[in-house]
A and B are shown apart, each in its own frame.
Chain A
Amino acid sequence: MAELRGSHGDQPNHILTRWFGTPDLHKLEVYSSKAGGYTALRKALVDMAPADITNEVKTSGLRGRGGAGFATGVKWGFINRDAPGPKYVVINADESEPGTSKDRYILENSPHLLVEGILIAAYAVGANQAWVYIRGEYDEPYRMLHEAIEEARAKGYVGPKPLGKDYPLDIRLYRGHGAYICGEETALLESLEGKRAQPRSRPPFPAVKGAWGRPTLLNNVETLCTVPWIVNNGGAAYAKLGTEKSPGTRLMSVSGNVRNPGVYEVELGQTFRHVIMELAGGPPEGRRVKVFWPGGSSAPVLPESMLDTHTDMEALAAARSMGGSGGVIVMDDSHCVVRAAHRLLKFYAHESCGKCTPCRIGQDWAVRTYERILAGEGSQVELDILQRVSDGLQNGRCLCGLGDSGGWVIDSTLRHFRDEYEDHALRHECNVGKVMASA
């Protein structure tokens, strides 16, 4: 088994990761016998009505773990199960948000957890076919998921009569080919349809017109992996964990300048200090946390002084940030915020699909402005341009969140680290220690 860097084993908050580390957990027999796998599927198909399953998920208060944090049960309820014609469940395994590796962690440790979650969800919303859209770079997770699906097919869980129920269930795989924008729901659907992945205008929403024009439920990997536990233990039990509006636990990938980077299962409501300093060991000797991204690079940054911010969505919103993908990137005081922001804007510019004007032009304009600043050619003009671009990317100007994300990087770093920006732009100097070769 590959090296586990993250949560595993028997802890009260290890809803997802309890059995991670069990040898051969990716094999169906081990998943079933050692980890109680597929008991939830049996319960859902045999003992529950589809509407009951959706109700349990609603009661649990589970929120989407991909980035938007939308109430999962409510989303399931948008699908009209009784409408004629096919419906689909599409699983967003495109995980490309910088700093996020939790879905990969799940797929490499317990792919059957996802298979089981998918089957339950499909049954609940009236879909017979699920498509997992998995990023093309995830060679190993793809292979393991594929094997798991085939094992489930051999066992009859995937097939025309799962567990004897007259309700065909199938899971198919579709590989992405390198585009972060495919993490956006409607862009993912476009890609699944074999097109250039550009988001769609909403409405119509995928629940009405999704994959191939059909009603579609789109969920993140981790979200669906939480479903078996909720079915087995009840939604109320899940809601007891975490906070009232952000119940449960989530996997937080912690990376960057920390001693123990890893994927940690955290009960929502814990502080970032706990996550970064305790679970991940804090920054290396002699360094301090300077800034951290609490939910992937798209979440507005928080400075060291806000380490005690709680990890639930509401606390993050109050801190003018967001839960996002749960990817915590920690940067210590030996690095330059302006350079970090520049690198992230290069990312957004590279990944911009080009459909809407502000993102297509604005991200690139910001990159070029950062380059002038970092080359020592900056002035107040460049700072004003960065602010102008940032404003132009936010607040509904763009067709999707990729645009806003670029804006938030600029906006939040300018807000918390204006002096670093002014060092570069106005004084043409960087007062941060040189980037070290390794942490």
Chain B
Amino acid sequence: MPDVNLTIDGHKIAVPAGTLVVEAAKTIGIEIPVFCYHHKLDPVGACRLCLVEMTPGPPRPQTACTTPVAEGMVVKTQTAMAVQARADILEFELANHPLDCPVCDKGGECPLQDFTFRHGYPTSRIDGPRLHFKKPIPLSDKIALDRERCVLCYRCTRYYDEIAWEQELTTDERGVQSFITSQFEQPLKSIFSGNIIDLCPVGALTSRVWRFESRPWDMTHTASVCSKCAVGCSVTLWQRRGQLVRVTSHENDDIDEGWICDRGRFDYTDVNDPSRLRTPTIKGARATWADAINAVAGGIKGKGAKLGVSLPQDITNEEAFLFRKLLDGPLKGAKVKMHGRTAIPGPANGSRAQGALPESLMRIREIDDARVIVVVASDLEHDVPIVDLRVKKAISKRGAKLIVVYPDSVDLDRHPGTVHIRNAPGSAAAEVRKLASHELLRDPGGPVAILFGDGYGGEDIDDLASACGDLARKVGGKEMALYRATNERGALAAGVAGWDKLDGVEALFSWGPPPTAGIPKSAKFSASWDHLPRAGHEAAVVLPATTFAERQGSYTNLEGTVQFLRPPIPVPAPLKEGWEVLCELAAALGLHLDYAGVVPIQREMALQTPDLEPAPPPVLVGPAHP
């Protein structure tokens, strides 16, 4: 469709048809303040803050957030009527709003503050007692609610209902007595709850983890990648005085669309744990790096299959690349086990692992265009939460149909149109093969998305992968393999995503946390690169590790996009980067690896695995404003 021409405050612009007036104004830097409007939620025109004059239109102000542009429209945001309407609405919003700015965490990144300065009256005509609520109310152990600050924009409850398909957060009562509450004041349970903190335009919903930690202007931040699962959401990491103080979304429309799950948002406090390991130790005694690395080398050298190597779910591509060299060289024959893996094999292209998966796996953003989505052998909400949200969006906002093949109930069942085939565990492939003749897939009317997991080990994964591939070809679909570990695909591509049992090994080298089953009893020697003290360290050689907030490197997410970590915190001395440690270890093992930094490693990797496509840098969006 052709662009639409309109005039805003005298400026003639052309924007795509369907653009809302409030967004059109943004394109030329005109701020029309909004509370209830959020670009990822359906507009409601509730707060009335965005009233502007529009012609053609009635002789009354109209809400810019609900009105799409029309050819020849004339919008005026600075007439007396519009200016006064805006100021009046702000005055109303402030009528019951407590004077909490000095103690409110939102201060400094607060739209209410900013809009009041820019659009409100310098004084208020309100006097008299304000409405009071008990505050703060813990909505969960992570989120606090302050009902007095709440401006009832309903972003939080609308987000819950529209995006997460849940209603454990609700509005009670009516009129001025309305308040936000969790259902029957039970703690919020949803893994999607934390996004309401970012959504809230005032300090009503705040992070209890970050409470009173810092003012926004005292922090610096970087745009990085979440390290908790294979989706690889873009996150903003905020640091203050060398501590990671909070995690927010960094809106990447290709992957997360501005949402992150609570694992990514809140599971970072280990970075600041005072018991972080600071120096290498050998059997509990402080040692130099050189001594410690030599001790590690001595303990793992020449063990062949009697060496066990445990790799973390968030091993970087660069570390994996170096491990491959070690495993092809001095550590040849070692058993390797990676945390958190699914049973899904790696894609065939450029990978050392065996696999039957085709070259063209789906990108997350392609879920948007699917007409039918098939989810097999996975509980998306649990495994890849943000992909779950994307699927929900496709169904409720874009009219896609959904078929679920899974033994138990999943949250996608909440949609009345969901077709849920409850298969007996182990029979997922058979059910998938039947789907080609399902009425929804006979004429899907567009692309079909087939998302499959490994059924937590309960399915024959090769059979299932093959069945999904067949179905994709028959119905015009694309598949997405639902890897779980953060860098499962990167590790698979490097050939280090091991699946071996570690019982019976005589030496164990844990890169990251120890195996979930614990250090094997047979291991007489144990070495770790870890960031927190654990049981067993007193008998081992321990090298202090960086966390995702300090390390450089990249992850490959489940769709194959390579994304670069951008740590906000420099590696604190005397810690070393992981790749550096591996190079020194290699040297001690007699393998010469000489890299000046992480970039040369990446260059070499790119030459060897040409299909790994680096991601374009995510679009920068301001941290707090809509």
Contact = CB atoms under 8 A, between A and B. Distances in A.
Q: Do chains A and B touch in the complex (CB under 8 A)?
A: yes
A42 to B, nearest CB: 39
Nearest to B177: A354
A350 B174 CA distance: 8
Contact of B51 (A353, A369, A391, A396): A396
B45 interface: yes
B48 A351 contact: no
A353 B89 contact: no
B556 to A, nearest CB: 41
Contact of A363 (B85, B88, B93, B176): B176
A385 interface: yes
Given A392-B92, A396-B60, A354 B47 contact: no
A419 to B, nearest CB: 24
Contact of B176 (A198, A352, A385, A397): A352
A201 B152 contact: no
B175 A357 contact: no
A368 interface: yes
A356 interface: yes
A371 B93 CA distance: 21
Sorting the interface of chain B by its residue count into under 10, 10 to 19, 20 to 34 or 35 or more gives 35 or more
Residue with the greatest number of chain B CB neighbours at <10 A, chosen from A179, A200, A357, A365? A357
Nearest to A181: B174
A392 B84 CA distance: 9
A364 B51 CA distance: 22
Contacts of B174: 179, 196, 350-354
Given A353-B175, A363-B175, A201 B63 contact: yes
B354 interface: no
Given A352-B176, A353-B174, A397-B48, A368 B61 contact: no
A372 B174 CA distance: 23
A116 B423 CA distance: 51
B126 interface: yes
B351 interface: no
Contact of B126 (A357, A363, A365): A365
Contacts of A353: 174-175
Interface string B488-527: 0000000000000000000000000000000000000000
Interface of A is mostly: helix
A399 to B, nearest CB: 6
B93 A361 contact: yes
B151 A201 contact: no
B175 A360 contact: yes
Interface string A362-389: 1111001100100000000100110010
B205 to A, nearest CB: 18
Interface in A175-222: 179, 196, 198, 200-201
A398 interface: yes
Contacts of A357: 46-49, 89, 92-93, 151-152
Contacts of B113: none
Given A361-B95, A368-B128, A392 B88 contact: yes
Residue with the greatest number of chain B CB neighbours at <10 A, chosen from A350, A363, A397? A397
Contact of B58 (A350, A362, A391, A396): A396
A357 B46 CA distance: 7
B584 to A, nearest CB: 62
B171 A196 contact: yes
A372 B128 CA distance: 10
Contact of A354 (B92, B93, B152): B152
Residue with the greatest number of chain A CB neighbours at <10 A, chosen from B61, B85, B176, B178? B176
B92 A358 contact: yes
B66 interface: yes
A354 B85 contact: no
Contacts of B92: 357-358, 361-362, 365, 392
A201 B93 contact: no
Interface in B177-202: 177-178
Contact of B61 (A196, A350, A364, A397): A397
A288 B44 CA distance: 47
A397 B52 CA distance: 10
A354 B179 CA distance: 10
Given A354-B175, A399-B45, A360 B51 contact: no
A386 to B, nearest CB: 11
Contacts of B45: 201, 356, 399
A395 interface: yes
Contacts of A313: none
A203 B437 CA distance: 40
Contacts of A198: 46
B62 interface: yes
Nearest to A389: B92
A354 B128 contact: no
Contact of A388 (B89, B125, B128): B125
B51 A397 contact: yes
A399 B154 CA distance: 15
Given A362-B92, A396-B60, A201 B175 contact: no
B43 interface: yes
Interface of A: 179, 196, 198, 200-201, 349-358, 360-365, 368-369, 372, 381, 384-385, 388, 391-392, 395-399
29 contacts: A179-B174, A196-B171, A201-B44, A351-B175, A352-B175, A353-B174, A354-B171, A354-B175, A354-B176, A354-B178, A355-B46, A355-B154, A356-B47, A356-B48, A357-B46, A357-B93, A357-B151, A358-B48, A360-B152, A360-B178, A361-B92, A361-B96, A365-B95, A368-B128, A369-B128, A381-B127, A385-B125, A397-B51, A397-B61
Given A363-B176, A368-B128, A396-B58, 16 more contacts: A350-B174, A352-B175, A354-B174, A354-B175, A357-B46, A357-B47, A357-B49, A360-B178, A364-B176, A365-B92, A369-B128, A384-B125, A396-B51, A397-B61, A397-B85, A399-B46
Interface of B: 43-49, 51, 58, 60-63, 66, 85, 88-89, 92-93, 95-96, 125-128, 131, 151-152, 154, 171, 173-178
Q: What are the nearest 7 A-B pairs in CB distance?
A: A396-B60, A352-B175, A201-B45, A354-B178, A364-B176, A361-B92, A201-B66
